[in-house]
Structure 1
Amino acid sequence: MESSIQQYKQAVSVIKDAILYSQYRAAKLVTGEQLSLYFGIGGYVSAHSRQEAWGTSVIDRISEQLRRELPGLRGFSSQNIRNMRSFYEYWRQYIICSPMASKLQIAVNKDVIDIDNFSLQKWSPMASEINREEFLGISFSHHMEILHKTKDLHEILFYIHQTVLHKWDKYDLRDRLKEGLYQKQGAAANNFLQTMPVNDARKAVGMFKDEYLLDYINIDEMEVDKPEDIDERVIEKAIVRNIKQFIMTFGRDFAYIGNQYHLEIFGEELFPDLLFLNRELNCMVVVELKKGAFKPAYIGQLQTYMKVLDDKVRKPHENPTIGILLCKSANKAFVEYVIRDYTHPMGVATYKTAEDMSEELRKALPDMDEMRKLLINESDTDN
């Protein structure tokens, strides 16, 4: 009996997956056809309205007449026809094989609209940066939300990818555009958007920076003979001595748990450099310090700490641990390539100490002792 129930559940699961995948393919096909149609109409309208004297009201009259001749027609308001023109005029430079060929085709067939511009045979080699599946996988409304916000190709492709990845509707996408998610995600190399729930990922993206100024760490004042003798432990101790400043540098809602936090698993002992709790994200944040440039091996070390923390230390109500690797320098593009397939949320940032600051910048910054005195005096005045 139990075996037949399992078979029944397995059959339902398999059939359901097939139905959902078929529905996805059908929806994508419809979307692709619509985009191809709108692109073709946009090209036709662009050629006539930009190059010929159609007049300012012609598009309005075309829209009105189409609705009369095709009752129930949707998506062909005068504004949407203008959007089709904008859609075509932006993407033609990347999609059509040759701009000159496009102009020639319109000149010869000025009363014919090509509705098959997105077929593989016509997809331009110039479009190598564009993921064709993703481009055709989001609606025209999504495309226009993005194009109304930005004309930067890399930013557009970022939002297309995120829309497909997280299945955003038009209003979700609009909110992400308003938040400037692309600019925020550029703050640090991380995989938060791929490994965390979207709301938590947005918070994490906005929380961590690409570089931290640890100007209270002064190499000259450290008791070492040579700069090359400075290692991670020396920097870590300086951070611990100035933990309040470090937390203020790091951001809000961080609580310090400890440094060289002892972990043990299968008889192996591990000691991550710094461990925090973030109340906003409801998770631990483990920070690993490196004195030199980023190396891929550091990510494996960081992920090991995160796995053990999640298995041995994390409370049932807490979210998975976030890992932050702080290096002296890092090639962001290389870092993003290395971490993109990891399933644990992590980011890589760089840091500067007082030694790295130019003399001009040091002079421009306010003296910390004077600032403290000023704040104390202001506090006394308020009381």
Structure 2
Amino acid sequence: MDIQNSDYQSFFGEVKTKIREAQYKALKAVNKELIQLYWDLGKMIVERQMQFGWGKSIIENLSKDLQKEFPNENGFGRSNLEYMKRFYLEYQADTISQPMVGKIGWTHNVIIMQKCKTVEERRFYMIHAKKFGWTKNVLIHQIERKAFEMYLTNQTNFDQLLPENYAHQAHLAVKDNYSFDFLDLADEHSERELEEGFSRRNITKI
């Protein structure tokens, strides 16, 4: 049998698509669990500080102990624990934003907390980061070019013109600098390709 014939190639394409879909679903599930973990840790830190009157030193101590216990994990540094605490404090009363935070990567959440001043601005970037699968560098670029302000004044057309296939950048967006190597995900579209997509279609690069 000639396994290079068109029928086989079509079959192989279907199999590859099925595998990619399963990997993407797995990655989204991992990201959701990671965000939930960080939310829970932030909540626990806040509650224990209130309960026992612990100061900032508890985060330093906790970071050192967690890194000893989980030496292969990258997320338990002091600064990241500080972000977990802030993450919980920022969104504990915001029931609208809470479902959104688990749909984007942790680094995206940190960037949005750092750079966005209002609730409305944060929600805007959460929605669009998920919709278009922005990597963290693209997200930073959009914020620095004031995409939210331009959107409010109808000065941008990226939402209407960005090609749908770039929505599949989402697996890049949630990978960030966390290692999900066990999912063996390939980056089929690079961030450079995403940037080139803006230029080719004359899309406003906000």
2:121 aligned to which of 128, 147, 155: 155
Supply the RMSD in Å over aligned alpha carbons: 2.6
Alpha-carbon deviations, 1:231-253, whole Å to 9, x = none?
A: xxxxxxxxxxxxxxxxxxxxxxx
Larger RCO: 1 or 2 (CA < 8 Å, sep 6+):
2
Give the secondary structure class of the aligned counterpart of 1:142.
helix
Matches within 5 A, 1:284-363: none
Alpha-carbon deviations, 1:86-127, whole Å to 9, x = none?
A: 1111221124xxxxxxxxxxxxxxxxxxxxxxxxxxxxxxx3
| Higher helix fraction (1 or 2) | 2
How many aligned positions are there?
169
User: Partner of 1:62 in structure 2?
Assistant: 62
Contact 2:91 2:98 in 1 (8 A): no
Matches within 5 A, 1:269-280: none
Counterparts in 2 of 1:46 and 1:151: CA distance versus 1, 3 Å:
farther
2:39 maps to 1:32: no
Instruction: Report which of the two structures shows the higher radius of gyration computed on alpha carbons.
Output: 1
Alpha-carbon deviations, 1:22-54, whole Å to 9, x = none?
A: 111000000000011110111111122356421
Contact 2:103 2:130 in 1 (8 A): yes
Matches within 5 A, 1:251-290: none
User: Partner of 1:201 in structure 2?
Assistant: 203
Contact 2:156 2:204 in 1 (8 A): no
Contact 2:111 2:140 in 1 (8 A): yes
TM-score with structure 1 setting the length = 0.40
Query: Which residue identity does 2:149 align to in structure 1?
Result: Q
Which whole-Å CA distance do the structure 2 matches of 1:6 and 1:155 have between them?
A: 49
Matches within 5 A, 1:3-22: 5-22=5-22
1:77 deviation in Å? 0.6
1:21 deviation in Å? 1.0
TM-score with structure 2 setting the length = 0.72
Which whole-Å CA distance do the structure 2 matches of 1:87 and 1:151 have between them?
A: 14
Contact 1:166 1:198 in 2 (8 A): no
1:161 deviation in Å? 2.0
Counterparts in 2 of 1:36 and 1:15: CA distance versus 1, 3 Å:
same
| Higher strand fraction (1 or 2) | 1
Contact 2:31 2:102 in 1 (8 A): yes
Unaligned 5+ residue runs, structure 2? 163-196
User: Partner of 1:286 in structure 2?
Assistant: none
Percent identity between the two aligned chains: 25
User: Partner of 1:254 in structure 2?
Assistant: none
Matches within 5 A, 1:85-164: 85-95=85-95, 127=96, 130=97, 132=99, 135-164=101-130
